[in-house]
Amino acid sequence: MTHWIVAPVVLPALLAPFIVLAARYHIGIQRAFSVAGVLALIAIAAGLAWQVSAGTILLYQLGDWAAPFGIVLVGDRLSTLMVLLTSVLALFVLLYAIGSGWDDRGRHFHALFQFQLMGIMGAFLTGDLFNLFVFFEVLLIASYGLMIHAGGNARLRAGVQYVLFNLIGSTLFLFALGSIYAETGTLNMADLAQRAKLIGAEETAGIRVAAVLLLLVFAIKAATVPLHFWLPSSYAEAPAPVAALFAIMTKVGAYAIIRVYSMIFPPELEVTSGLHDVWLLPAALVSLAIGMAGVLAARKLDRLVAFSIIGSMGMVMVAIALFNPPGIAAALYYIVHSTLAGATLFLISDLVRTGRANLELLPQAPVAGTALTAGLFFTGAIAMAGLPPLSGFLGKLLVLEAAYGTDLVVWIWAVVLGSSLISILGFARAGSVLFWKAHSVEPQADGPALPRPAVLSYVAVGGLISLLAAHTVFAGQVHGYTTNIAAQLFAPEPYIATVLDTPGKLSKPKEEY
Amino acid sequence: MELLVASAIGVMTAAGLYLVLRLRTFPVILGISLLTYAVNVFLFASGRLTTGAPPVLRDGMTVYADPLPQALVLTAIVISFGMTAVVVMIGLGAFLGSNDDHVDDQPDGEEDGAESTS
């Protein structure tokens, strides 16, 4: 049994208290340890992804207790891909936070950052639904701290909304878990997958309610309309590096939907039939439309980016709701793209803020360094709106291709293409107001000199954009790998067998003691 | 007993939902507390209601209490307690900072909370 799979959870969990206890007043030491920890995470995640790329499934029994009695961590292609994505994103976000000085504007940024990583990694790796709830809470409580980092009234007010909404979501999650446990007597995902099939046709009321409640909880996390109301204010008011890290949090919801509804409640299961095509798909289409309409309607740049996150989550959910292997493969390709593009745009909006008094979409006098920021915004906007040549275009193409031949193909194509047009308009309007019309305003001679963004900030944003470029250049390989992931998800028998048949502490024969 | 527990969960959930839909922070936090109480009892009942039954295997016993929901409830209580404390602190900070405890976004220009709903 390899112990490496627990390292992405344990490493940040040890690093965070160390940063609080030992390096409290030394921002330099905090930065060094935080960056070193994230670099180590990337190495571990890459190693794990390499190990499972052939299709093996890594299992880690906590305390050596066999499933379903103990809690297990499971690493397959999907979860290790998400862990790798999180750690790579975390590195660039951290570099930006250090470069822009955001981490020094309040206390305990690095400790909370590490706790947040611990929660996200755990949520991706766990094989137990209640453990998923616990890791959700870990990542949420760290995100509450990060969200109000550096304080300010507007941020605190948005923070109250964010925390309240998520508390209600957590309560809903507990209701779902309670009803699942009452119906099946287990919370281990692999065990649930076997028991959900056994429920008779006339006793499905409880498990149906549980499946819908669980879908609602994950839809809150994934900001699917009509459960998206928490996102615009909180992402717009959160410090930019934090909002960029939050780009992965909506994907935790998408990941949970893929995991639970491919393994426990697969589309062919009679109990939950209709959940994806009748409910999830229209909701996803509406979120796509509303998100992109919000891009056009937003009056501030940070809100615009927040709405583009909702729109891109809508795109991901459309691909997921198709629930066929090409759809999941396209969704995973788009998840990687949308995480990187969303984070890039949040960081760029902070670069814009450095040279302006606010982020209102009104012409203001140009400042030093705008040309480079404008170029970066142009690239990020192209990626997010899904224009060629960047990966957003390819992702959209894959979603359209996966939708071809399904019943709702007309609706999906119409909404995806129409919303793309709207988002292009929205980004073009924002970019031209912010950067081109700036030259029509006379700069005030006696105004305070605004500082240029630090070089490290540009390095972080440039790194994310080069990752997007790599995601485009190696699209064939990445899509091939996501196709393999989808194949593994739609044949969950090895996963279930690995989890349930591996002996633990008490299942060993007597003579081994 | 089933009727008592079920109606207790139902009444707490209903009251909690009503309070959660209010406009000001304090009733919403109270409502969330009520909802977490309701969900704790609900989790407890998900292992079936038994009285005086042992939770671990013993000779000569046929009826057992399920120990797992009790562990789940303990976890849920700790988490919801901590979260409620966090939201009270953030809510207090927001109220003291902007002298307004509305939960929703106020339209631009009406930041002083002139309307007296709730």
pLDDT tens-digit map of A207-235: 888 999 999 999 999 999 888 889 998 99
Subunit contact A175:B39, Cβ cutoff 8 A = yes
Subunit contact A163:B29, Cβ cutoff 8 A = no
Tokens of A416: 């995806």
The model's pLDDT over A488-501, given as tens digits with 9 standing for 90+, comes to 999 999 999 999 98
Tell me what pLDDT residue A398 has: 94
| B89 in a structural domain | yes
State the nearest Cα–Cα gap between A114 and chain B, in angstroms. Answer: 19
pTM of the model: 0.92
The model's pLDDT over B69-114, given as tens digits with 9 standing for 90+, comes to 989 999 999 999 999 999 999 999 989 988 888 887 766 544 443 3
The reply to whether A175 touches chain B by the CB within 8 Å rule is yes
Burial class (CB in 10 A: 0-12, 13-18, 19+), A121: buried
Tell me what pLDDT residue B116 has: 39
Tell me what pLDDT residue B112 has: 42
Subunit contact B90:A177, Cβ cutoff 8 A = no
Give the whole-number percent of chain B exceeding pLDDT 70.
Answer: 89
Tell me what pLDDT residue A408 has: 85
Tell me what pLDDT residue A309 has: 94
| B94 in a structural domain | yes
| B117 in a structural domain | no
Best residue in B40, B44, B86 for a mutation probing chain A (most A CBs within 10 Å):
B86
Residues of chain A with pLDDT under 70: 1, 368, 443-450, 507-513
- A-B C-beta contacts closer than 8 Å: 91
Query: Which residue type occupies A262?
Result: S
Tell me what pLDDT residue B102 has: 84
Q: If residue B102 lies in a helix (H) or strand (E), which one and from where to where?
A: none
Tell me what pLDDT residue A445 has: 62
| B111 in a structural domain | no
Distance CA A146, CA A102 (A): 11
Give the residue from B58, B15, B90 showing the smallest Cα distance to A161: B90
Give the distance, in angstroms, between the CA of residue B83 and the centroid of all CA atoms in the same chain: 10
Give the torsion sign (CA, A263, A264, A269, A272). negative
Residues 6 or more apart from A79 whose CB is under 8 A from it? Answer: A124, A125, A255, A259
| B38 in a structural domain | yes
Number of domains in chain B: 1
Tell me what pLDDT residue A276 has: 81
| B114 in a structural domain | no
| B16 in a structural domain | yes
| B17 in a structural domain | yes
Tell me what pLDDT residue A175 has: 94
Residues 6 or more apart from A422 whose CB is under 8 A from it? Answer: A292, A293, A295, A296
Q: Which domain holds residue B88?
A: 2-54+63-98
State the nearest Cα–Cα gap between B60 and chain A, in angstroms. Answer: 23
Q: Which residues of chain A neighbour B75 with C-beta distances below 8 Å?
A: 130, 134
Subunit contact B97:A156, Cβ cutoff 8 A = yes
